[in-house]
């Protein structure tokens, strides 16, 4: 005979049923409600402290620094075929998100210093070209980075294009803060989409080998499968072939069973050591 949920869980489940507008009788009989209720009881990457940790973890891999706010001004061509890479999560001129960023910024502040590059950003989208951007684009980016409106634009697009979709999908898959971060970091590097080397393709490959908690699977086994798929995708691209952010960061947290991503955290990315204290 299956055990009845404890008093605390039963109360949470009942609250979830009421919030969902369901009959009280469904609270104990609907696995989806039980899962939803228990998931909310775990750590959520949208909590301010957890989100700050996520930003620092990404920055350690993208910029070799925990000071992610210093990266508003970052911009360079890293030779990965995506043109210029800039900002707090690596918007690129060759994949369209840098264009969207400048468009978003220009809607908020039409006379900004980057608005004059919109035509050029349209033309170089899909390539690694700097046509129409050089020689002053990087200097103007640095100027814009001092503007709170540009900083807000970067935050807005980071959330709407990467953070929110990744965390939402992770929650649907029944993953706690660590899994939410693992999804977010993959979304930042590989982008959304369904190709083999995009976030959607990586998740699809993982699902072929393990079920996420929302489908009755084991969280550790599923995240292990996801990281395996992520690593395989990274190795297909020369620019991403150093898999340190998986091997010596995310896999370390998973091996320790730190599903709530609780500090203190110690890890390495690309040979550098980092610590987030309690």
Which residue, among 156, 181, 229, 149, has the nearest Cα to 44 in the 3D structure? Answer: 181
Cα distance from N-terminal residue to C-terminal residue, the chain: 42
Instruction: Give the C-alpha separation, 165 to 58, whole Å.
Output: 16
Which residue, among 229, 234, 180, 232, has the nearest Cα to 206 in the 3D structure? Answer: 229
103 is catalytic: no
Marked catalytic residue, from 44, 52, 56, 62: 62
238 is catalytic: no
Marked catalytic residue, from 80, 196, 242, 260: 80
Instruction: Give the C-alpha separation, 61 to 90, whole Å.
Output: 11
Which residues form the catalytic set? Answer: 62, 80
């Amino acid at each position: 005979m299956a055990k009845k949920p404890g008093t605390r869980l039963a109360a949470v489940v009942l609250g979830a049923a009421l919030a969902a507008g369901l009959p009280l009788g469904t609270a104990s009989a609907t696995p989806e409600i039980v899962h939803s209720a228990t998931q909310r009881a775990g750590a959520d990457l949208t909590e301010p402290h957890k989100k700050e940790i996520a930003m620092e973890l990404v920055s350690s891999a993208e910029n070799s620094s925990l000071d992610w706010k210093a990266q508003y001004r970052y911009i360079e061509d890293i030779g990965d075929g995506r043109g210029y890479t800039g900002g707090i999560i690596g918007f690129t001129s060759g994949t369209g998100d840098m264009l969207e960023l400048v468009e978003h910024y220009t809607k908020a502040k039409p006379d900004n210093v980057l608005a004059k590059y919109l035509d050029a950003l349209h033309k170089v989208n899909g390539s690694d070209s700097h046509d129409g951007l050089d020689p002053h684009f990087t200097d103007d980016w640095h100027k814009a980075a001092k503007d709170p409106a540009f900083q807000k634009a970067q935050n807005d697009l980071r959330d709407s294009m990467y953070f929110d979709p990744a965390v939402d999908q992770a929650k649907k898959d029944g993953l706690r803060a660590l899994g939410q971060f693992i999804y977010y970091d993959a979304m930042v590097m590989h982008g959304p989409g369904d190709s083999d080397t995009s976030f959607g393709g990586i998740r699809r490959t993982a699902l072929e080998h393990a079920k996420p908690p929302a489908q009755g699977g084991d969280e550790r086994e599923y995240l292990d499968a996801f990281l395996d798929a992520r690593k395989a995708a990274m190795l297909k691209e020369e620019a991403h072939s150093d898999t340190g952010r998986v091997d010596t960061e995310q896999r370390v947290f998973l091996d320790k069973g730190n599903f709530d991503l609780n500090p203190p955290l110690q890890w390495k990315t690309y040979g550098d050591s980092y610590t987030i204290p309690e």
